[in-house]
Structure 1
């Protein structure tokens, strides 16, 4: 469910961002400090579900977010992206903000994250979030890198740690991609199978060569950047990155699936034979 909600949120936010910029342009000051009825009316046009809330509920929620450092425009983006926020008491909103603060991204970065993905304010399990954050930091080195990867792949919230680990291990050990390149992409939003398939296809076309183990990570490479490989539609990846046709890629996917299935069966048989010998 988290995956569906978060991806839908990205599409909705893209559609609403233009209107919200127009809303901001109507303000006489560079920053909106007060919530006016015109702002509420504009927000309701963008998200009709907001029409049921009284001006007092709007005022209370706005004041709560403002007291915690979020500007009026950020507040408007949040409630148009996640109208249910207005149902919540100030204490509940504050509790969620405190849960996210424990990730130690810093106030400005946290506000950017929650404004871009208002559905993240639905998080209520502090233990789950902090466990994920600690794991990602152990693999990506810094809290800021954790923030960057969530900005690009917010659906990590819905992924089991073992699946994230499988993808990270593949990128580190097989593709030999460095942390800075990983966190600038949405590679972790792909399934492991799709990540492996795209990479393998490039390798077999001769369009991707992993760096030597002791190579300088700053040394230029002819490989496409990770975001070019992963942050594109399948059609764009195939035609613009690989310079082949979709039917060719579809055929490759089928052949690779059969190849991996054969290897899996062979490994299983070898393991069973080894067990019998013991």
Structure 2
């Protein structure tokens, strides 16, 4: 068996030679046999993380025994281990250039997207798995300004069009950030300039009409509105200047 078979046969979770794999060497599935299997299908792919929230806790369903698995505090992991059957279940898409494969003994493996043949590492299985070719992903149509961005909050990657001239909301963690520092700085400068102009006008109007306001009490509401608007613009400027910036990895 080639080097590729042995270099890519590591299970995603170590020490997972579970009890459930011991029944796989009986009649019909002999040990050291060669089988044909596809990559993990849509029913085994992890759902978007925000859709895994149930109630007040974050859980996913085990793809082997259907038991709920608590994934609180495990956002950075790609897979989690079920406490009932000790098998692995993915909660994220595989890393770039990789794919998940589940052996008939329920061992979850990861290998290169181009791999056609891998071996299960479990001592009581050792099956050779011939993989069906992965479905060809249609190329993403080129779009001016479309780039790959790494979220500053959760470190996941997503696509964003920089020509939108807007803030980016990560589809994984739903948090907002600026794509590149230039957008946040330019918006911060704009709101700072507007707040400075409005506060100066508010001060000028107040000084120039304070005698008139002494006999017309409604004028004070105009003063208050001008100062409040100026302070609101100033706070907006501070918001943009303090905003976290996501990293542009490059064009698609």
* TM-score between both structures, scaled by the size of structure 2: 0.23
**Higher helix proportion (structure 1 or 2):** 1
**Higher strand proportion (structure 1 or 2):** 2
